[in-house]
Amino acid sequence: MFVKAKNRTTTRFNRWLALAGIITVAVFVATTASLFTGSGRWRPFDNLLPAAVIKPTSLPISTFVVTHLPTPESVRAIYLTSWVAGTMARRAELVKLIDETELNAVVIDIKDYTGRITFTPDDPILIKSGAVENRIPDIKKFIGDLHARGIYVIGRISVFQDVFLTGARPELAVLRLSDGAVWRDRKGIAWLEPGATEVWDYIIRLARASYAVGFDELNFDYIRFPSDGDMKNISYRFFDSTKETRVLILKKFFAYLHQELGALGAPLSIDLFGLTTTAFDDLGIGQMLVEAAPYFDYLAPMVYPSHFASGFLNFTNPADHPYEVVKHSLTTAGARLTAASSTASKLRPWLQDFDLGADYTAALVRAQIQATAEAGLTSWMLWSPSNRYTREALEKISP
């Protein structure tokens, strides 16, 4: 049985003690100052579209005092879209699920594939971008409430998938070779150029603003080159395949994130294709597990069994065999990280809690959690696009 209740009590005591002290005020001032005075080069990104009209929240975002929770030894998280996080009734349901089960963390969208920033930051340049769509108007209060319950809060940033910014700044977008228009994948999603350093700076500024409102950890998704579209009709201006590789471009970005965000003290994590656990090439998207490891505190391979092709481990339908797929993937990844002088403890996989390839019952969801534990790992995150999770797959905690 889990001891989360005891841990949460301790966390709450420490939090209120910190709030009562001068140290918290000093940390808040230093963190806020770093948002505007971060080291390294900064291109002000001041040639964006005029500022969007943003409705003010009932309380200015700066009136709330921000604290951060330390990373739990074992992170057990669920994902919330920004729309759900901004909807009182739905988010209350999910907080109740966390309170009553082994869960102790949430992942909330800061910027999803639309490119919209999901809260109003204390940053005039980000507001000027026009990307703000205030989906979570009480972001600081919500995070504060989660912290009071001992819930660790991870903020997810979709990096190079960005429908809004590619429209506002097409000169930073991946283009079509045939006519110079913005290239889109089969889902109609446009991509920013992975090699465009101005995009890198935009992401750095967004990450700083997100930490300043209380997110405990910054999670970066879609740090990769595009795929799943007409790849013969794609054009890059910030990437020359005759001079450097996709892997090298991404490594430069990894290093820049690590350099520019290191002073924040925020844990950094990256989402990776599930196949990076076993593949020895870059899958055509620039992602390689071992190459990312030095720059992030946590690596989150998306080992959804439904995303592995027929024939993987000789299974006709890998989705029917979640235990085997997840255990093999994570065991292999751990061995590769250890051989590269890194550590398997950086692994924190995304697990499947949605129906694709098979009907994902409580037994199939739990099988993935068991496989993760047997691979020697204690942390995992559940992904459900609908944000509806299988309660029966989760251990209950003692009252």
Band of pLDDT at residue 343, cut at 50, 70 and 90: very high
- Is residue 345 over pLDDT 70? yes
| pTM of the entire predicted model | 0.85
Give the phi and the psi of residue 169 in degrees, each rounded to 5. Answer: -130, 70
Mean pLDDT taken over the chain? 88
pLDDT tens digits, one per residue of 293-305: 999 999 999 999 9
Q: What is the pLDDT of residue 56?
A: 33
Element (H, E) at 79: strand 76-80
Quick one: fold of 4-38+52-393? TIM Barrel (3.20.20)
- Is residue 129 over pLDDT 80? yes
- What is the separation of C-alpha 202 from the centre of its chain, rounded to a whole number of angstroms? 16
Q: What is the pLDDT of residue 63?
A: 55
Q: What is the pLDDT of residue 102?
A: 98
DSSP string, 269-321: EEEEEGGGGT-SS-TTTT--HHHHGGG-SEEEEE--GGGSPTTGGG-S-GGG-
Q: What is the pLDDT of residue 65?
A: 82
Band of pLDDT at residue 359, cut at 50, 70 and 90: very high
Q: What is the pLDDT of residue 98?
A: 98
- Alpha-carbon span 33 to 27, nearest angstrom: 10
